[in-house]
Structure 1
Amino acid sequence: MTDWIEHFRAATRGMTVAHVWRGYGSALFLELGELTPSCRRDGSPAAPQGEIGVMIEWSWRIEDERSVLCGSFSAEELWAPMFDRLVGREVIGLTTFGRLPEILLSLDNGLYVASFMTAEGDPAWTMFDRRNSKCLALYCRSGLLCIERD
């Protein structure tokens, strides 16, 4: 059996956060590595996709060593400036924490991006590995790590 967290840990280590964007509601997307343009179904431009993508549907927070700087329930005007602080930073670590696996992405500027579900159900994060012709998606369901192949 493949250790999928180790797969994504190794894949993300040393990659740069190339793009950060907000999806519907408070969904947070971090695109790592080389970007590829993408389109919506209607042909209009969409956010570019990185080699590795990290999606945290909700809840999430951005921390430094001593405090939470911003999160999915913070005032939205705080989000864009905080997202800007993530772009261009190198990933130095990726780990899971908690009995139900949440993810923590560590960056070289002392910032951390964490999933942190605060409602019933599963942690709402997914990581995508788009480096090959078949995309891999890792997520949590019923407290277990699950993988899907495109």
Structure 2
Amino acid sequence: MSDTMEWAASLQELPAVAEKIAAALPEDAVLFLRGDLAAGKTTLVKALAKARGIEGEVTSPTFSIQQVYGEGFFHYDLYQCPNEKFLAMGLLEALEEPGWHLVEWGDEALEEFLKSHGFTTATVVISPDARGRRYKVVTDA
């Protein structure tokens, strides 16, 4: 069974929506961020980092694959990293660290693999909206 919540927000409203999203997410989970190219996945990560009290610059890990911000806040970009490479790099072990693991471009096969191995997952789908962006959050209840 899953729980679904949705919010629409302009860029100016995103910090308030990020607070709501943060409150709705499990404490230790792999969070799959889904949306088209330039949908605002990294922008949401920046807002969620602020909601978690993380200071400093948050950037896309497109070329490094993983960025770690503070304690318990991990950001991955798998756009150019197939699942086999992700696992071969030892990043599965990194996902065992407590906290949020925000994954851009993680596919459903990876999500199902993680669920089958006991990981808690949630999905945030970002899509265009008349106000800016719509954020649909699906968590396992």
User: Normalization by structure 2: what TM-score?
Assistant: 0.33
User: Normalization by structure 1: what TM-score?
Assistant: 0.31
Higher share in strand? 1
Higher share in helix? 2
Larger radius of gyration: 1
Q: Which has the higher contact order (CA 8 A, sep 6+)?
A: 2
